Amino acid sequence: MNKISDNRAWWLVLPVFLLVAFSALIPLMTVVNYSVQDIFGPGQAYYVGTEWFKEVLTDQRLRDSLIRQFAFSGAVLAIQIPLGIGVALMMPKSGVKGSLCLILVAIPLLIPWNVVGTIWQIFARGDIGLFGWAINQMGMDYNYTGDTLDAWLTVLLMDVWHWTPLVALLCYSGLRAIPEAFYQAAEIDRASKWAVFRYIQLPRLKSVLIIAVLLRFMDSFMIYIEPFVLTGGGPGSSTTFLSQTLTTMAIGQFDLGRAAAFSLIYFLIVLLISWLFFTAITHADKEK
Amino acid sequence: MSLTLENLSRTVDRVDYVRDANLTFEAGSFNVLLGRTLAGKTSMMRLMAGLDKPTQGRVLYKGEDVTGQSVQRRNISMIYQQFINYPTLTVYENIASPLRLAKMAVSEIDRRVKETASMLQIEPLLKRYPLELSGGQQQRTAMARALVKDATLVLFDEPLVNLDYKLREELRAELRDLFRERQCIAVYATTEANEALALGGTTTILHEGRVVQTGPVMDVYRAPVNTLAAQLFSEPPMNMIRGRVTDTEVTFDEYSHHALTQELAKLAPGDYWFGIRPSHIALVPANDDDLEMSMEVALSEISGSETFMHVENSHFEMVMQLMGVHQYHTGAPVKVYLPVNKLFVFDNDEQLVHTPSRILGGAL
Amino acid sequence: MAEIQLKAMAHSYIENPTGPDDYAIRQLDHVWHKGGAYALLGPSGCGKSTMLNIISGLVQPSEGDVLFDGKRVNELSPRDRNIAQVFQFPVIYDSMTVYENLAFPLKNNKVPAAKIKTRVHEIAEVLEIEDKLHKKAKNLTADEKQKVSMGRGLVREDVSAILFDEPLTVIDPQLKWKLRRKLKQIHEQFDITMVYVTHDQLEASTFADRIAVMYDGQVVQFGTPTELFEAPNHTFVGYFIGSPGMNIIEVERCAGGVRFDSTDLPLDAWQADILGRMKSNNIKVGIRPEFIEISHVATDDTYEAEVRDVEDLGTYKIVTVKLGEQVMKVRQSEEFDASIGSHIHLSFPKQWLMLYVDEFLVQGQQS
């Protein structure tokens, strides 16, 4: 008689399991279903196999938006991670100043996406927006609705403003977890500020940074609302990222089969990259 | 009423935490698990408590299989290195918490909490909060919480490690007295040989997940089954010297020759390990047949009441524990004397073949 | 290397301290001589860590001065004082190899590369970690890591003192022996001022030539391990040093000596003389468990007592005896034998009987 510990606890997982089934698995299966059929109307569906996938993969429009997407996410990471670390390093360690700083830094995180879009849509306008007006006053020709580069930079700037605080807060908590003795030892070893950063702070921020990179990558890769509100994807299709292309395809053109195949590929890309990051995290933990 | 571990093993990721342990703990006994860090002390206690499941073997309580049965169902207390208390509850409520969970009558709770608190000398602190207390007081509170519910199995995982030396000494003495009258099984893990000696009871020596030796503390101390047990249960570690016995003499490390006297004469010719406790080596001979060796002082550490003298020559290194103050400079030549009747002898496989007779059969 | 002097130094973490209880360290003068091996010994909360941080410069004393070779350094940071410190938990730079860890302080000081190399190898050899030089520091065991932290202090030739803050806490007992021995050898070899903070009397006494015992923010005694053991200057030292601590008995005056319960203890003439001139009634006598003698026959100088307990600690035995209402501990050799409840006879050799008035030792002319 080999008694095993109580297994009834598994029942507690049931609600979550059902929720996930309804919210994720069933819709996902619908998408899979759509992606292999051509549907004209109720009862008029034809099995087409991998045709949609082939089409999607060769579609120039989609390729372009995929490249734009990677460029955008890359730029987001390249700016927000160092900037976030920098902000975290500058924040006071404790006391009233520290708390005040935390609140100020966290404010952009509390604003809904569409509101962020609206704020920047107005803020960056050349006529009534403070930002756009100021740039124009400095003699630079700036118009985010007309100029591709300006539109791009504005979307990027908006994202930096919105999400760098997240990176900063994560790093801040990581920095606080470093025991005081390490700084004291570095002081005694006469380490320069840079050496302290390079050999104490950065190595100890590693796991926090992996999480920050993962979150920021996934989020920026799926960005939709903010550029949609700000530029509507324009001018032309210069700020049309993957999710917007997808939406246009599915809702605008009602091209469901192609949209479904595209969604799956999109999903797989996110999954693949998240998995890469995940293994990186677990690997980092094991090394400790 | 006893707890038995039967062929118990636990392996995680091909690392053996516990290997084939067979042990029995009787009710009312105080059991010390002695071993270095990572020897398997904590793993074994977790298996006893049912916090982990063994990969092999069984845990029996009163003859009934309780392997992997959860802690909540069994009456177990555990005390850790860290002082674990509920920070938002007063000391009184901390101690009362297991009784409240057991839905005991309020008057009974009050009686027991006060009784346990006075036993551990924290009665005046009952209204305070854990974080307002010193480390020693916090650990006393954690202990009171573990003891108040009359658990049948109380597990201590190096509970005194984070305390001051003097506090350790005091709490150790208190613990020993506390458990004298109790009918529970107490298991106490430690890395320190001296702590095991001070606590008494039964000692089990663990190394790399294996049980090296188990038995009443003085039996284990006086007759360590092999060199490993001898080294682990001695602080400073027992001195070990390689030696060869022939028909006429014993030679240490092909360097120091001595005539065979007393018990050594009974040894069959061959290679042996000779062990001697640091406290048994002397600077003056006590008997004519003491083995004399010429050494040099490597370091003389004076603790006030005694001196730990590290001596060496081109062949051996030994530690001596001497009463009183002996000031020597590094490099000073000394003659040391090893009493023949205090030598432990181990064979080539490092198993004990001879116990110093005088210690076992002498004045005691 | 430097002589470190604390002049009328006191420290309080409270801004406007009013009474002595507000001080973490009460006003004191103290000198740590060049090249000495010292220990700061005391229970937690006695102020020993504060003292260490004041020496290193991590904390500035609220009163008085810290002098290095006669120069006031109160405001100087640890880096400018050239202090090295080894912490309770090993502090190593995880991302570097052992070699890089040891080289780090030298690199920061812009020491030429060739010099760094020889120096690192030299220190690694002393610490016996030469074979580990190219391992990542984070993969070392606790005692090896602690050696690396120590090594970072030792590589610097300009270091004025090395401070140790309970450096052996995380080390297994068997290895503690080895590391302590290593430390002592390093001290003999390098002749650096070392201050070692600990609560463990054995660590303190085996490492240090002289020990400062701290209690309640004061240094109650500064002396060699033998002095602390044989003539504790304060009842706390008696209690704290030795295992078990000194037997301390509250007594009252009587003719020619002191008395507790119905037991009269004669004192030396000079002790009785000094006691007669003092007003305080807070009188205690102390005697170490090691110095009480037990015999099975009564003489004029012995007191009959009952054996309450005999603890076998392997190399020796601790006998608990009851004399009147007073419980005492006596240390005996491992051969000692007596059954519980039996009666034995104690004697207290006069030279080991210490007299304390208001907790401080009454010292004669000869000492």
- What confidence score (pLDDT) does residue A257 get? 78
- What confidence score (pLDDT) does residue C365 get? 59
B279 secondary structure, DSSP code: G
- C144 and C174 both lie in a single domain: yes
Q: Which of C203, C236, C269 finishes a domain?
A: C236
Which tokens belong to C124?
């690694």
Distance from CA of B247 to the nearest CA of C (A): 33
Interface of B with A (CB under 8 A): 50, 53, 58, 65-70
What residues contact residue B192 under an 8 Å CB cut-off, 6+ apart?
Answer: B34, B235, C173
Give the tens place of pLDDT for each residue, A130-148. 888 888 888 777 777 777 7
DSSP element (H, E) containing A26: helix A26-35
- C219 and C247 both lie in a single domain: no
Alpha-carbon separation of residue C367 from B33, B188, C240, C256 (angstroms): 47, 46, 22, 21
Q: Which residue does chain A place closest to B52, by CA atoms?
A: A5
* Number of independent structural domains in chain B: 2
Cβ–Cβ under 8 Å, residues C286 and C247? yes
> What distance in Å separates the CA atoms of residue B344 and residue B325, rounded to the nearest whole number?
27
> What distance in Å separates the CA atoms of residue B247 and residue B265, rounded to the nearest whole number?
8
Which tokens belong to C176?
């503690």
- B166 and B102 both lie in a single domain: yes
Q: Which of B227, B256, B276 finishes a domain?
A: B227
Is the Cβ pair A2, B67 closer than 8 Å? yes
* Mean pLDDT in residue range B308-331: 87
Q: Which of B184, B94, B188, B105 has the alpha carbon at shortest distance from B145?
A: B94
Q: Which of B192, B227, B262 finishes a domain?
A: B227
Reported confidence tier of residue C160, pLDDT bands at 50, 70, 90: confident
Using CB atoms, pick whichever of B58, B67, B70 lies closest to residue A6. Answer: B70
Within a domain: residue C195? yes
Whether pLDDT at A111 is above 90: no
Whether pLDDT at B334 is above 90: yes
* B81 contact C CB<8A: no
Question: B55, B69, B71, B72: which to substitute to probe chain A, counting the most A Cβ within 10 Å?
Answer: B69
CB pairs under 8 A between B and C: 99
> What distance in Å separates the CA atoms of residue A108 and residue A158, rounded to the nearest whole number?
10
Q: Find the domain containing B108 and state its range.
A: 2-227
- B216 and B245 both lie in a single domain: no
Q: Helix C142-154 vs helix C173-190: angle between axes, to the nearest 10 degrees?
A: 10
Alpha-carbon separation of residue A14 from A9, A21, A25, B323 (angstroms): 10, 10, 15, 69
- B34 and B164 both lie in a single domain: yes
Is the Cβ pair C205, B218 closer than 8 Å? no
Whether pLDDT at B216 is above 60: yes
Within a domain: residue C367? no
Q: Which residue does chain C place closest to B162, by CA atoms?
A: C169
More confident residue, A8 or A165: A165
What residues contact residue A225 under an 8 Å CB cut-off, 6+ apart?
Answer: A113, A114, A117
Using CB atoms, pick whichever of C173, C184, C313 lies closest to residue B198. Answer: C313
Reported confidence tier of residue B226, pLDDT bands at 50, 70, 90: very high
Within a domain: residue B174? yes
* A7 contact B CB<8A: no
Whether pLDDT at A285 is above 70: no
More confident residue, A285 or C333: C333
Reported confidence tier of residue B363, pLDDT bands at 50, 70, 90: very low
> What distance in Å separates the CA atoms of residue B329 and residue B314, rounded to the nearest whole number?
18
> What distance in Å separates the CA atoms of residue C104 and residue B218, rounded to the nearest whole number?
50
Mean pLDDT highest for which of A108-112, B338-342, C354-358?
Answer: C354-358
- What confidence score (pLDDT) does residue B162 get? 80
Give the tens place of pLDDT for each residue, A17-64. 888 888 888 888 888 887 787 777 667 777 777 777 887 778 788 888
- What confidence score (pLDDT) does residue B161 get? 85
* A187 contact C CB<8A: yes
CB pairs under 8 A between A and B: 17
Cβ–Cβ under 8 Å, residues B111 and B105? no
Sequential DSSP letters for B154-223? EEEESTTTTS-HHHHHHHHHHHHHHHHS--SEEEEEES-HHHHHHH-SEEEEEETTEEEEEEEHHHHHHS
- What confidence score (pLDDT) does residue B213 get? 95
Whether pLDDT at B93 is above 60: yes
* A181 contact C CB<8A: yes
Which tokens belong to C184?
């002592």
The residues in C 140-179 lying below 8 A from A, measured between CB atoms, are 149, 152-153
Is the Cβ pair C177, B302 closer than 8 Å? no
Q: Which of B175, B184, B159, B176 has the alpha carbon at shortest distance from B74?
A: B184
Interface of C with B (CB under 8 A): 43-45, 142, 172-174, 177, 180-181, 184-185, 188, 199-202, 205-207, 224-226, 228-230, 239-245, 288, 290, 311-316, 334-337
Using CB atoms, pick whichever of A1, A5, A6 lies closest to residue B65. Answer: A1
- On chain A, the residues whose CB falls within 8 A of the CB of C91 are 179, 181-182, 184-185
Q: Which of C236, C257, C281 finishes a domain?
A: C236
Which tokens belong to C303?
């007191």
Whether pLDDT at B95 is above 60: yes
The residue count for chain A: 288
Within a domain: residue B363? no
* A285 contact C CB<8A: no
Q: Helix A256-287 vs helix A202-221: angle between axes, to the nearest 10 degrees?
A: 170
Give the tens place of pLDDT for each residue, B252-293. 877 778 888 777 888 889 999 999 999 999 999 888 888 889
Give the tens place of pLDDT for each residue, B141-151. 998 998 898 88
Q: Which residue does chain C place closest to A195, by CA atoms?
A: C108
- What confidence score (pLDDT) does residue B361 get? 38
- C115 and C159 both lie in a single domain: yes
Provide the CATH number for the domain around residue B331.
Answer: 2.40.50.140
- What confidence score (pLDDT) does residue A3 get? 45
* Mean pLDDT in residue range A81-98: 88
- What confidence score (pLDDT) does residue B278 get? 92
Whether pLDDT at A4 is above 60: no
* A1 contact B CB<8A: yes
More confident residue, B135 or C251: C251
Whether pLDDT at C366 is above 70: no
Is the Cβ pair A185, C149 closer than 8 Å? yes
Dihedral over alpha carbons A76, A79, A84, A87 (to 10 degrees): -150
Reported confidence tier of residue A5, pLDDT bands at 50, 70, 90: low
Q: Which of B240, B263, B261, B260 has the alpha carbon at shortest distance from B250?
A: B260
Q: Tell me, rounded to whole angstroms, the distance of Cα A67 from its chain centroid.
A: 16
Using CB atoms, pick whichever of C172, C205, C243 lies closest to residue B169. Answer: C243
* B198 contact C CB<8A: yes
- C183 and C278 both lie in a single domain: no
- What confidence score (pLDDT) does residue A218 get? 85
> What distance in Å separates the CA atoms of residue A8 and residue C124, rounded to the nearest whole number?
57
> Considering the entire predicted model, what is its pTM?
0.80
Reported confidence tier of residue C170, pLDDT bands at 50, 70, 90: confident
What's the per-residue H, E or C state across chain C? CCCEEEEEEEECCCCCCCCHHHCCEEEEEEEECCCCEEEEECCCCCCHHHHHHHHHCCCCCCEEEEEECCEECCCCCHHHHCEEEECCCCCCCCCCEHHHHHHHHHHHCCCCHHHHHHHHHHHHHHHCCHHHCCCEHHHCCHHHHHHHHHHHHHCCCCCCEEEEECCCCCCCHHHHHHHHHHHHHHHHHHCCCEEEEECCHHHHHHHCCEEEEEECCEEEEEECHHHHHHCCCEHHHHHHCCCCCCEEEEEEEECCEEEECCEEEECCHHHHHHHHHCCCCCEEEEECCCCCEEECCCCCCCEEEEEEEEEECCCEEEEEEEECCEEEEEEEECCCCCCCCCEEEEECCHHHCEEEECCEECCCCCC
Distance from CA of C145 to the nearest CA of A (A): 14
Whether pLDDT at A174 is above 70: yes
Q: Which of B227, B252, B276 finishes a domain?
A: B227
- What confidence score (pLDDT) does residue B205 get? 96
Cβ–Cβ under 8 Å, residues B31 and B25? yes
- On chain B, the residues whose CB falls within 8 A of the CB of A5 are 50, 53, 68-70
Using CB atoms, pick whichever of B193, B298, B305 lies closest to residue C229. Answer: B305
Q: Which residue does chain A place closest to C150, by CA atoms?
A: A185
Within a domain: residue B233? no
* A9 contact B CB<8A: no
Alpha-carbon separation of residue C103 from C87, C113, C128, C140 (angstroms): 19, 9, 16, 17
B135 secondary structure, DSSP code: H
Whether pLDDT at C135 is above 70: yes
> What distance in Å separates the CA atoms of residue A34 and residue A64, rounded to the nearest whole number?
24
- B32 and B168 both lie in a single domain: yes
Give the tens place of pLDDT for each residue, A67-80. 888 888 999 999 99
Q: Strands, E, within B208-363: which ranges?
A: 210-216, 239-245, 249-252, 256-259, 270-276, 291-302, 306-312, 317-323, 333-338, 344-346, 352-354
* B82 contact C CB<8A: no
Q: Which residue does chain B place closest to C225, by CA atoms?
A: B304
- What confidence score (pLDDT) does residue A1 get? 38
Query: What average pLDDT does chain C have?
Result: 89
Strands C316-323 and C303-312: antiparallel
Which tokens belong to A160?
């930096």
- C223 and C329 both lie in a single domain: no
Provide the CATH number for the domain around residue C170.
Answer: 3.40.50.300
> What distance in Å separates the CA atoms of residue B156 and residue B148, rounded to the nearest whole number?
15
- C112 and C231 both lie in a single domain: yes
Sheet with C326-333: strands ordered across:
C293-295, C343-347, C303-312, C316-323, C326-333
- B157 and B244 both lie in a single domain: no
One-letter identity of residue B278:
P
Q: Which of C204, C236, C268 finishes a domain?
A: C236
> What distance in Å separates the CA atoms of residue A3 and residue C197, rounded to the nearest whole number?
52
Q: Which residue does chain A place closest to B50, by CA atoms?
A: A5
Cβ–Cβ under 8 Å, residues B68 and A3? yes
Whether pLDDT at A201 is above 70: yes
- What confidence score (pLDDT) does residue A288 get? 45
- Helix segments in chain B, DSSP class H: 41-49, 91-101, 106-119, 135-148, 165-180, 193-199, 217-222, 227-232, 357-361
* Mean pLDDT in residue range C193-215: 90
Q: Report cis status (omega within 30 of 0) of the bond before C20.
A: no
Whether pLDDT at B102 is above 50: yes
Q: Which residue does chain B place closest to C313, by CA atoms?
A: B197
- B252 and B204 both lie in a single domain: no
How large a percentage of chain B has pLDDT more than 90?
Answer: 40
- What confidence score (pLDDT) does residue A6 get? 63
Whether pLDDT at A91 is above 50: yes
Q: Which residue does chain C place closest to A198, by CA atoms?
A: C95
- On chain B, the residues whose CB falls within 8 A of the CB of A286 are none
Distance from CA of A201 to the nearest CA of C (A): 10
Give the tens place of pLDDT for each residue, B169-184. 888 888 888 888 888 8
Whether pLDDT at A287 is above 70: no
Q: Provide ipTM, 2 decimals.
A: 0.82
Cβ–Cβ under 8 Å, residues A117 and A158? yes
Is the Cβ pair B302, C288 closer than 8 Å? no
Distance from CA of A1 to the nearest CA of B (A): 8
Using CB atoms, pick whichever of C230, C240, C313 lies closest to residue B166. Answer: C240
- What confidence score (pLDDT) does residue A82 get? 94
Q: Which of B209, B218, B166, B255 has the alpha carbon at shortest distance from B21?
A: B209
* B304 contact C CB<8A: yes
One-letter identity of residue A176:
R
Within a domain: residue B66? yes
Q: Which of B99, B118, B98 has the alpha carbon at shortest distance from B107?
A: B99
Reported confidence tier of residue C348, pLDDT bands at 50, 70, 90: very high
Q: Which of A109, A86, A277 has the alpha carbon at shortest distance from A172?
A: A86
Strands C83-86 and C161-165: parallel
* Number of independent structural domains in chain C: 2
> What distance in Å separates the CA atoms of residue C301 and residue C136, rounded to the nearest whole number?
66
Cβ–Cβ under 8 Å, residues C43 and C220? no
> What distance in Å separates the CA atoms of residue C340 and residue C337, rounded to the nearest whole number?
10
More confident residue, C118 or B38: C118
Q: ∠ CA(C249), CA(C250), CA(C253), 5° rounding? A: 120
Provide the CATH number for the domain around residue B187.
Answer: 3.40.50.300
Q: Which of A167, A143, A171 has the alpha carbon at shortest distance from A76?
A: A167
Superfamily covering domain A44-287: MetI-like (1.10.3720.10)
Lowest-confidence segment of A8-17, B212-221, B312-321 by average pLDDT: A8-17
Give the torsion sign (CA, B150, B155, B161, B166): positive
Residue with tokens 């001695």: B234
Cβ–Cβ under 8 Å, residues C294 and C332? yes
Query: What average pLDDT does chain A have?
Result: 82
Is the Cβ pair C95, A203 closer than 8 Å? yes
Give the tens place of pLDDT for each residue, C259-310. 998 888 888 888 888 998 888 999 999 999 999 999 988 888 899 999 999 9
Q: Find the domain containing C302 and state its range.
A: 243-361
Question: A187, A188, A190, A207: which to substitute to probe chain C, counting the most C Cβ within 10 Å?
Answer: A188
